Amino acid sequence: MSVVAGVDVGGTFTDLVWLDEGTRAVRLAKAPTTPRNQAFGVLAAFEQAGVDVGGVDLIVHGTTATTNAVLERRLSRAGMIATEGFRDIIELGRRTRPQAYGMTGSFTPVIPRDLRLEVSERMDAEGNVLTPLDEDALRAAAARLLEAGCESVVVHFLHAYANPAHEIRAGEILSEIWPNAYVTLGHALLSESREFERGVTASVNASVQPLLQRYVDRLAEELRDRGYAHDLLVMNGNGGMVSARMVAREAAKTVMSGPASGVMAAAYTGRRAGAPDLLTYDMGGTSTDVALIRDAKPAVSNEIEVEYAMPIHVPMVDVRTVGAGGGSIARVNASGLLEVGPESAGADPGPICYGRGGTRPTISDANLLLGRLDPSRLNAVEGGVRIEDVARVFEAELGAPLGLSATEAASAVIRVANARMAGAIRMVSLSLGEDPRDFALFAFGGAGPLHAVALARELGVPRVLVPARPGITNALGCVVADLRHDFVNTVNRPLDGADMDEVHAVFARRIEEGRALIAQESVAVERIETICSADMQFIGQTHLLRVALDGPAPAREDLQARFERAYWDRFRVSLPEIRPSLVNLSVSVIGVRREIDLALLIDPEGRRATVAEARTGLRPVWFDGGWTDTPVYRREHLPWDAVIDGPAIVEQLDATLVIDPGCTARGDADGNLMIEIGGAA
Amino acid sequence: MTPLDPITLSVIQAGLSQTCDEMDLAFTRAAFSPVIAEANDRADGIYSAEDGSLIAQGPDGLPVFVGAMQESTRVLVERIRAGITAAPEPGDVYIVNDPYLGGTHLMDVRFARPFYRDGKIWCWLSNTGHWPDTGGAVPGGFSASATSVEQEGLRLPPVRLFKKGVLDQEIYQIICSNIRVAEQRIGDVKAQAAALDVGAARLEKLLDRYGDAVVEQAIAELRARAAEQTRAHIRAIPEGRFEATAWVDSDGVVNEPLAIRLAVERAGDGLVFDFAGSSPPCTGPMNSVRSTTLSAVYLAMRHIFPDVPISAGAFEPLEVRGIEGTFLDAHYPRPVSGCAAETSQRIAEAVFLALVNAIPDKVTAAPAGTSGNFGLGGSDPAKGRNFVMYQLSGGGYGGSALGDGLSNGCSTIGISKAPPVEIMEQQFPILFRRYALREGSGGAGTARGGLGLDYEIELRRGEARASFVMDHGRFGPPGARGGADGAPNTIEVVRGGVSHVPQHLSKEQDIAMRPGDRVRVGTPGGGGYGDPFARDAEAVAEDVRLGRVSAKDAAALYGVAVADGAVDPAATDALRARRDREVS
C-alpha cells in the first residue's frame, strides 16, 4: 500500500489529487498556478490539501511548462549546426501559408537564422557518405554558437535517419566541448525522413530542454527539502510517465503533458465504467481539447502540429484543439448571421460575468442567462456584475439585430456554439476513421459537463460519462498513468519484399529496450504490456493507415489481410489491383501500475441515502424555448446509485452538469454519472 | 413561407460546410496522386440542380477551383438539358476534364454525381482532383511549347464513368491507354468517387433532420446573405476606377510579354472587373479559359475578404467584363496548361495591384505568384526504371499594412505543401546542393516583401530532360505604395560546366541533362509595401543580422547604415536626409 499524489499545473490552476491506499483517504486541492515558478503553486496545493510531502511515496507531475514556453516563445537560446546548404530548412517550412485565404500572416522559426550554422558533410538517401564530416568546421561552429550565448545545440543533418554516423560523430565531438548535456541529435529523437519535421522537433527539444531541466530540478529540490524521498515522475505527451532525471533528454515529448494526462484519466475511468470507447471533451476558457479513445487506449499520433508550421513528430496522445471555450465571444456578422468564436475574451477580462471588465457576450454569459449556471453566484463576483447587466449586453449586441429577446439570444448562442463544436468533434473522429456515434462522450474540465448532453444529442452520441471530479481530471491522470515508452522504426518496403524475420526482430529488440527502460524506474509495476502496430499504405500513396497487430510476430499474409480490412473500414474502397507497402513498425511498451480505487474521489461519508436528500433547490432553466423549474442537486451528496431524470442540474465545487429533459443520469460505484441521451438526434 | 430563424440558418450552413469538409478529407486521405494526397490539389462541393451554382465548398479546397467548379457543373446541367450529354440515373458519376467546358487545365479531372431526393435530382456533388498525368507531349502535361490542346493530353467530355454505381471498364480502359503511370489511377478513381458517396450520406442526414424545404430555403437565404456580406465590404471601397497591369513573361512559344489590363470600378455596391485591352489569345500554353479567369478573380477577392463563406452569393456582386477576344477567354484548340498554375496568379495579381490603392489596409503588394514548375523526366539506371519528377516552389509574399510578407509561401491559387528534400532524393536520381532562403530577394518597403527560395539540384545518374513553366522572370512581383519590386525568378542550367539561361527566362522545354549537370532556381521575392526609407531602422538591422538584406542594400535601398549588426544612428540620419533632399 502506498501514498500517491498527482499534480497537474494548468494555465490557471494547479490541481492536486492525493490518495492513501492504506487508509483509503483522499485529499484534493486547487491552487492558483504561479507562472514564474510553477513549483510554488505545486507546494501551495500540497499545503492547501494539508498533507505532508514527506509521507508521499510517489509524486507524478503533469506540466504546461514546455507547452507555454513554446506557444509564448519564451525559449532557451539554442543553436543549430546543419548540413551545408540546408540551414534554412526549419524556416522554409513546407511552403504553405497560415490560412487558405488571406495573403498575410507571419512565421518565426524556433531557432533564428543567425544561430543556424552550416558544416560540410553529406549523406545520400541510401545512407552513403558523399562528403565526410568536416570536424574542424564543426568545432568552430560550436565555438561560435557558445560565443553567441547558446545554451543548447541541435545537430541536424540530411538523411541522418538513413545513416546517423555523422550526427553521432558530431555528438561525440560536442560532448568534449559543449559545457552541458543539452545536445540534441536530430535522428535520436525521431528517426524518420522529412527534414523539416525532424528539424523542428529537434529544435523544439533543444529550446525547452534547459527550461524543463531547471524547472524539474527546482521542484524536485523543493519537494526533497520538505522530506520527499522518492523519484519525481513527469507525465509525457504519450500518456506515460518518466523520471524527472530522464525527462529533459527528450523534453519535446512533454509538450502535450497536461492534455495527455486528462485523456489517460478518461481512458482509465471509462474502462472501469464499462465505456472503453470514448470521445473526450475538455472545455476550458478559450479552447476545447478533443481526443478519441478506442478500447480504453487513447489514439496516439506521431504528427502533432502544436501551431502553424510547428510539427512535433514524436508519439503523443492525439489531442486536437478546437477554438471554442467558455470565453468565446458571440457576435452578429455583416450578413446578419450569429457567429460564436473564434475570438475569445480569454481569462482576462474574461466573460462579462467574471466582473473583470469583460463587455462582450460569451458562451459562459449565455449559460448564466439561461439558468444553466447558478445566477446567484454572481453575488460572489467582486466587480459587482448583475444579471441585468449581462442581459442588457445580449439584448443590445445580439437580440436587437436578430430580433430576439436577451434570453432567446443566449439560447441561440448556445445552439450555434454547440453546432460548431459538434462539427469539430465529428471531424476529429472522422479524421481518425471513427464514427462518433460508436462512442460515449467523456466530459470534463470546468465547462465540459455544461454542454455535454446537448453536444451528444447533436452528434448522435448515445451516452455521456461525467467523472466524479471533472475539474481535476488531469491531476487524476497523473495518479493513474502507467510507465510508457514508444518506438517507431522505418521499414519502407513493399510488403511482398519485406524481410519478415527482420520485422519480428525489430519488434523483439524494441520490446526488450522498453522493458529495460522501465526496469530503471523506481516505480513498481504489476505487469508489462506491449502494443504493436504497423503503418501501411498502398504502394504509391503518401498517407499512412495504422494497422493494429495482435503480437510482435505477424505473418506476411496477416499484415496484408489486416491492412485491407482496415482500409475498407476507413474508406469503403478495396484495391486488389495494388500491392501494399510496410512503412513503419510501432511498439509501445507499458509498465502497468496497480489499479486505484476511484470510489474514493467522492467522500462516502458525505453521500446521502436518497436523491431527494441531495437536492438543494429549484431554479428556472431555459430548455427548448421555455423556462422549466429545474431541480438542482449537490453532486457530493448524491447516493452512489442515484438515478436522476432530466431536466436537472447537478452542481459540484468546480463543475456544473446540465441534464436535458428526456435524458436520464445513473450513478456508479466509482462516483461517475452516466447519462443516457433520450430523444432522436 | 415563414422566414427562417437565423440560428437554424447558422446550423444548416455549418452542416453544408462540414459535408464538403468530409468529402475533402475522404478524398485526400485515400488518394494516390501526391498532388492530391500531399498537396491538397483538389476541391469538393455542392452545386445547384437548377444551374450548377455553388451552394457550398470546403474551406480547404484548392482556391483556384472555387469558381471553376460551378461553371463546370453549369455546363454539365445545360448539356444534359440540351440532350448533348446523356441524362443520369441514380448511382451515375460523370467524369470530365475539358478545359473549354468550365475547366482549368486537362490534369484537373472533375467528377460529378447527381444527388436524388424522391426520385428527382436535388443537387450535384462534384469534386476535382489534379491527376499526375493525362497524356500529351510531356509527362505531367505542362508542355511549355504546346500550340494546341491535343499536345497537352487526353480531353474528356462529360461521360458517365460509373453507371448505376458500377465502374464502366470500357471507358476506364480508354483512359488508361492514353495516360502515363496508369496503374495507380484506379486508386484515385475509387477515392474520388467514394468521396462523393461520403458527401451524399452526410447530406442525406442533414435533409432528413431539417426537412428538404427548410434546407432549400436556408440555401437561398445563405446565398442572399453572402452576397450582402460581399456588398457590405464593397461599400467600404472608395468610389472610383482603379487600374493595374500584370505581365506574363511570355507564352512559352513566342517570346513577348502578355498583358493583363484590368480596371476595377465600383458601381454602387457591386464591383466590375474590366479586362478589355488585355493581350489576344496566344500561341503557347499561357491561355486561360473563361471559368479559370472568373475563378482567379473570385479567389483574389476571397484573399482580400476571407470572412465571406464560399457560395455563389459571395460572387454575385462581382462582374467580370471585357475578356472576350483576349487570352483570358481562350477557345478550342488553344493550349491552356499554364492557365491554372500561372495565368490565374497573374490575374489575381492584377486584382491585388488595382485594389491595393483603393483599400490599402486590406491588400498586400504582389506575391511571388508563380507555381515554379520544374519538371524532370528521364531514366534511372540504378533502379532500372523511368521517372517523372516535379519540383513546385514557393516564393515571397507581398508586404502589407499588417507587416512583412511571408517567405517561401505557396502559390496564390494553391494551399499545397512542398515535398521534403529527403523524399525527393529517395524517389529520384537527384541531389539537392542547396535549399535556402534567397537572400536579398524581398522587395524593399516599409513592410518588406517575403524572401523567395534558392535551390540547386544535380542529376546523379542516367539521362534526363528538364522543363520549366515558371513566371515573373522578366519582371519581379510589383511593389505597392512606394515599395520596390521583389526579385525576379531566375533559372540557370549548368551543363558540362557551361551555363545556360532559358531564352524565355522562366520557360523552356526538354533541356537535355547528364550526370553532374545542375539546375539552379531562384524564386521571386514578394513586392515591398510603402516607402523603404520609412521602414523601422531596427527592423532593417535585424534583416541584415539574419542575412535577409545585405548591409549594402540596407544603405542603398532603405537608407539605414548597419555596422556589426547594429544601426548607426548618425549615418542613418544622414543617408535618409540625403534622399529626402534629393526628392524635394
* Alpha carbon of A537: minimum distance to chain B alpha carbons (Å): 9
Pairwise pLDDT comparison (B339 vs A504), residue with the higher score: A504
Q: Say whether pLDDT at A12 is over 80.
A: no
pLDDT mean over B451-459:
98
Q: Which of A529-543, B218-232, B428-442 has the highest mean pLDDT?
A: B428-442
Angstroms from A218 CA to nearest CA on chain B: 35
- Taking a C-beta distance cutoff of 8 angstroms, is the pair B424, B436 a contact? no
The answer for A 263-282 residues in CB contact with B (under 8 A) is none
Q: What is the pLDDT of residue B517?
A: 98
Residue range A502-516, pLDDT digits in tens: 999 999 999 999 999
ipTM for the complex shown: 0.92
Out of A101, A333, A338, closest to residue B306 by CB: A101
pLDDT value of position A184: 97
Could you tell me the CA-to-CA distances from A63 to A69, A74, A152, A480, B221 in Å, in that order?
Answer: 11, 15, 21, 16, 48
**Cβ-based contacts of A334 with chain B (< 8 Å):** 228-229, 232-233, 307
The whole-angstrom distance between B159's CA and the closest CA on chain A is: 22
The answer on pLDDT for A281 being more than 50 is yes
Summarize pLDDT for B187-208 with one digit per residue, the tens: 899 999 999 999 999 999 899 9
Give the model's confidence band at A75: pLDDT under 50 very low, under 70 low, under 90 confident, else very high.
very high
- Per-residue pLDDT averaged across A579-599, rounded? 88
Question: What is the rounded average pLDDT of the residues A262-291?
Answer: 91
Task: List the single residue in B with minimal CA-CA distance to A120.
Answer: B433
Q: Place B485 in a pLDDT band, splitting at 50, 70 and 90.
A: very high
Query: A92, A301, A394, A434: which to substitute to probe chain B, counting the most B Cβ within 10 Å?
Result: A92
Whole-number Å distance between alpha carbons of B271 and B275: 13
Question: At residue B448, does pLDDT exceed 50?
Answer: yes
If one compares A369 and A65, the residue with the highest pLDDT of the two is A369
Q: What is the model's pLDDT at position A435?
A: 79
The reply to whether residue B187 touches residue A193, judged by beta carbons under 8 angstroms, is no
| Chain B contact for A505 (CB, 8 A cutoff) | no
* Residue at A520: amino acid letter: Q
pLDDT at residue A381 in the model: 53
Q: What is the mean pLDDT of residues B146-164?
A: 96
CB B266 within 8 A of CB B312: no
Percentage of chain A modeled with pLDDT above 90: 58
Tell me what pLDDT residue B398 has. 98
3-state secondary structure B262-299: EEEEEECCEEEEECCCCCCCCCCCCCCCHHHHHHHHHH
Share the mean pLDDT of chain A: 90
Query: Which of the residue ranges A8-12, A302-306, A627-631, B578-582 has the most confident prediction, judged by mean pLDDT?
Result: A627-631
Chain A residue at shortest CA distance from B366: A103
Report CB contact under 8 Å: A334, B233. Answer: yes
The three three-digit cell numbers of residue A627, written as one number: 423556462
Contact flag B406-A106 (C-beta cutoff 8 Å): yes
Contacts of A95 in chain B (CB under 8 A): 392-394, 408-410, 416-418, 453
Q: Widest CA span of chain A, in angstroms?
A: 80
Beta bridge partners, A597, equal none
Q: Are B45 and A559 in contact (CB under 8 A)?
A: no
> Could you tell me the residue ranges of all domains in chain B?
6-227, 364-535, 536-583
Outline where A524-590 has alpha helix (H).
Answer: 556-571
Average pLDDT on B372-396 reads 89
Instruction: Tell if the CB–CB gap between A100 and B437 is shorter than 8 Å.
Output: no
Is A497 an 8 Å CB contact of chain B? no
CA distance B244 to A414: 47
Average pLDDT over residues B319-330: 97
Buried b / exposed e over B495-527, threshold 16 CB at 10 Å, is beeeeeebebbbbbbebebeeebbbbbbbbbbb
Check A193 against B426: CB less than 8 A apart. Answer: yes
Least confidently predicted of A49-53, A63-67, A261-265: A63-67
Q: Who contacts B83 (Cβ-Cβ below 8 Å, separation ≥6)?
A: none
What is the distance between the alpha carbons of residues A457 and A452, in angstroms, rounded to a whole number?
A: 9
d(CA A120, CA A132): 7
A92–B407 C-beta distance less than 8 A: yes
B190 contact residues in A (CB cutoff 8 A): 573, 575
Rounded CA separation A616/A631 (Å): 8
| Amino acid present at B473 | G
More confident residue, A155 or A98: A155
Which DSSP symbol is given to B480?
A: B
Place of cell 476571407: B306
Residue A382: what pLDDT?
Answer: 57
Q: Does A121 touch chain B (CB under 8 A)?
A: no
Model pLDDT, residue B156: 97
Provide the mean pLDDT of chain B. 93
pLDDT at site B489: 98
**Strands (E) located in A97-151:** 116-119, 122-123, 129-131
pLDDT of residue A251: 93
Q: Search chain B and give the residue with CA nearest A339.
A: B10
Q: Do A85 and B233 touch (CB under 8 A)?
A: no
What pLDDT digit, counting tens, does each position of A395-446 carry?
999 999 988 999 999 999 998 898 888 888 887 887 776 778 889 999 998 7
CA distance B242 to A588: 62
CA dihedral B109, B114, B115, B118 (to 10 degrees): -170
Cβ contact, residue pair A540, B229, below 8 Å: no
What number of H helices and E strands is found in chain A? 18, 35
Q: Beta A338-344 vs A328-332: how paired, if at all?
A: antiparallel
Percent of chain A predicted with pLDDT > 70: 98
Q: What confidence tier does A681 reach under pLDDT thresholds 50, 70, 90?
A: very low
Q: What is the pLDDT of residues A214-234, one digit of tens each?
A: 999 999 999 999 999 988 999
- Separation between Cα atoms, residue B104 and residue A627, nearest integer Å: 56
Q: Please list every residue in chain A whose beta carbon sits closer than 8 Å to the beta carbon of residue B226.
A: 335
Please tell me if residue A561 touches chain B, with a CB cutoff of 8 Å. Answer: no
Pairwise CA distance, residues B168 & B103, whole Å: 23
Give residue B151's pLDDT.
94
Quick: pLDDT tens for A240-255.
888 888 888 899 999 8
The answer, yes or no, to whether residue A680 has pLDDT greater than 50, is: no
The pLDDT of residue B150 is 95
Q: What is the pLDDT of residues B7-43, one digit of tens each?
A: 778 778 888 988 998 899 889 888 887 778 777 889 9
Task: Point out the residue among A95, A130, A197 whose CB comes nearest to the CB of B418.
Answer: A95
- pLDDT tens digits along B497-534: 999 999 999 999 889 999 999 999 999 999 999 999 99
For residue A434, the number of C-alpha atoms closer than 13 Å in the C-beta half-sphere is: 22
Which pLDDT belongs to residue B209? 86
* Band of pLDDT at residue A486, cut at 50, 70 and 90: confident
Domains of chain A, first to last: 3-70+212-257 (3.30.420.40), 77-181 (no CATH), 328-416 (no CATH), 482-592 (3.30.1490)
| CA-based nearest distance A75→chain B, Å | 19
Nearest to A11 by CA among A447, A363, A346: A346
Where is mean pLDDT largest: A526-535, A665-674, B484-493?
B484-493
